[in-house]
Chain A
Amino acid sequence: MLQPHSLLWHYLWVAPSVLLLGLAGRMRWLCLHKKFPLFFTLAIVSAIEQLTLYACDLAPSVGAITWWEIFWAGLLVEGILKFALVGEIFARVFNAYSSIAQLGRLVILGVGVALVLTAAFFAVRAPQDSLFEIVNGAHLLEQTIYLVEAGLLVVIFLLSSYFSLFLDRPLFGIALGMSFSALVHLATWAVAANAGLPPPKRVILDFVNMATYHVCVLIWFYYLLVPREVTTKSAVPLPENNLDVWNRELERLVHP
């Protein structure tokens, strides 16, 4: 069952991309694409990229080198989109509050630089694991992208949980799916890039990656499309004169 070109293999490669296109369509229908334009774009680009790679894998006319070149191109475009989306998530969480926006920017900048340096160090230290330079480079680029992406997302979760900031449901779902995907892919690509498994067993990593991606798509479906139970809170408006009196009381409290 866990063999290339098995039924499960075909399903795990194609189904998440088809579901993602469906999610993008539904987002457009609900006008969510205006609220999350980068995620909407990433969903379409990722789905098209994976379906193209799948078709190229099956087509006998496409050679191995061409397949890896397409993979590289898709990886670069997807990487840029992912970092832009991480930036958007960060801005939505922290820019709303002026008191911690500056601190958040400093932390994310510092961590970002540290992650890029760590990723570069890991890439330099990684052994040559493939006969083809293009394959080896792809593994290292994947490891680098996922290391930086996962690190930044974990820091966003750390800061928001320390400051008890409540991410709204769709944004939390997007960040959750991306983090889950980035962390699992980081682990699998690190094993692949550092020759952790003999080539015949590498297919297991492909299955883990594809299954993880499928789970992430389902997470996005759940958080973006399943509505949350809404609790209404009644707040009583305060008459203007009472507000003035109250402000004077506050003044006395702050400056006794």
Chain B
Amino acid sequence: MKKPILALFFFLVLFSCNAQKELYSIECISIENEGFVKLKLLNYVKPTKFKIADASKDAIKALLYSGYSSTNCPTQKPLLKESADIDNFKKIESDFFSKNGKWKIFVRNSLDIDNIKTEKITIKEFEIMVNKDQLRKYLEEQKIIKSLNTGF
């Protein structure tokens, strides 16, 4: 009787860790020139250990998987729109987000804008500029997503 309960406990712990890993809030501040998008990021999981590199990766993930919407920016759909696109990206995802991965090319002006301190925790906010156009072009070149002129 104890074994299934123990197994269930471990499963729940693993599942919750996995879900928490991606828990961040994102807000579009503005759509800039030359294909850049300025995003504000805030992570709820271990905020004290949340670094600019993590925030940059989260910003890129938001552009890839979820898209974004705010009062300043109209709704923007994710770059990986179809399940086939996501499957294609999964093949390169670990390399792409590795320590010296390509993700660094698409990010600039990362700024630690605020440290909000409460009694228990310190929440860090970052402003990240991501070059969405270059990211889209990279995905098109890697045949992860289709370009508008595919087939013509």
B and A form one assembly: no
Which residues of chain B have a CB within 8 Å of any CB of chain A? Answer: none
Q: Which residues of A does B touch, CB under 8 Å?
A: none
